[in-house]
């Protein structure tokens, strides 16, 4: 199968799958999700992604429809049915199904899964960025389905010919991107926003910090601002989709690209880790 869809035990070609209108995702975006890459039929960092999904569900009091292990087994079973082992594996749990009312529905949540072809970038090609004020809600640390601000920012980036949008708060504090984490390198040190309620601490972000520790690269988890971003030696963007990229432009002006050797050490480390763990 080239692309697969799954809903509460039923699955088939993605474009042929349907879901009930009364699923609470339709009314409220009431659910949590996680996702990550798969290579050679092996899902990368699966335990970490599943743990985050369950933390997000607990934070919103969503009753999970199966255990962590059962979900991992289900994902691995579906992956084995695909034509290619290079995939993007997406899964979400919505609060349930019922007529539209704001109060919670009873019972377990609904499990959605999609498997689509994707090859993870090796990070060699630099990307272009824009900035946009971060006006999202104050629960960015929960990976919910309420993604309208990220959708609008991503559209703004696409219309500007850019891959990502970097969010900043009033006062200029940089938080994260529309669907990635952003970091800077300055004078040989990696700076990344602290894992508070203003960012979703990404799995790739955690692997980047671990890479810094292994490689002996100083790392500081502390706020930085737009001025720091614009004057950085390198601007790094990490996500489960593409692991580690660096930027060459922000808001139409050249940026970063001043410490390619240090970026290359991190890029190679993360790429090699991904390849080793999926071989």
Residues belonging to the active site: 143
Measured from the Cβ of residue 173, the count of other Cβ atoms closer than 10 Å reads 16
- Core vs surface per residue 113-128: b (16+ CB within 10 A) or e: bbbeebebbbbeebbb
Whole-angstrom CA distances from 107 to 7, 46, 94, 122, 174 are: 16, 26, 11, 43, 39
In whole angstroms, give the CA distance from residue 12 to residue 180.
Answer: 30
In whole angstroms, give the CA distance from residue 58 to residue 53.
Answer: 9
In whole angstroms, give the CA distance from residue 77 to residue 59.
Answer: 28
- Kindly report the backbone phi and psi dihedral angles of residue 223, in degrees, each rounded to the nearest multiple of 5, phi listed first: -60, 145
In whole angstroms, give the CA distance from residue 66 to residue 111.
Answer: 9
């Amino acid at each position: 199968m080239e692309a697969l869809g799954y809903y509460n035990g039923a699955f088939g070609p993605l474009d042929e799958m349907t879901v009930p209108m009364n699923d609470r995702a339709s009314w409220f975006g009431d659910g949590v999700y996680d996702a990550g890459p798969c290579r050679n039929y092996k899902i990368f960092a699966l335990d970490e992604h599943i743990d985050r999904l369950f933390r997000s569900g607990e934070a919103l009091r969503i009753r999970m429809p199966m255990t962590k292990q059962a979900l991992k087994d289900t994902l691995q079973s579906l992956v084995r049915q695909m034509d290619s082992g290079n995939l993007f594996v997406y899964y979400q749990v919505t609060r349930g199904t019922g007529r539209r009312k704001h109060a919670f529905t009873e019972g377990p949540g609904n499990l959605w899964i999609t498997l689509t072809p994707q090859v993870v970038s090796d990070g060699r090609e630099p990307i272009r960025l824009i900035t946009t004020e971060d006006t999202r809600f104050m629960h960015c640390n929960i990976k919910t389905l309420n993604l309208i601000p990220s959708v609008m920012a991503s559209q703004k980036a696409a219309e500007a010919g850019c891959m990502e949008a970097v969010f900043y708060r009033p006062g200029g504090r940089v938080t994260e991107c529309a669907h990635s984490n952003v970091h800077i390198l300055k004078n040989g040190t990696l700076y990344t926003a602290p894992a508070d309620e203003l960012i979703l601490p990404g799995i790739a972000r955690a692997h980047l910090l671990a890479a810094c520790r292994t490689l002996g690269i100083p790392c500081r988890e502390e706020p930085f601002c737009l001025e720091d971003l614009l004057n950085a030696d390198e601007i790094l963007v990490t996500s489960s989709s593409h692991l580690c990229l660096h930027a060459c432009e922000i808001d139409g002006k050249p940026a970063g690209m001043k410490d390619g050797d240090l970026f290359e050490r991190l890029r190679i480390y993360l790429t090699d880790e991904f390849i080793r763990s999926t071989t």
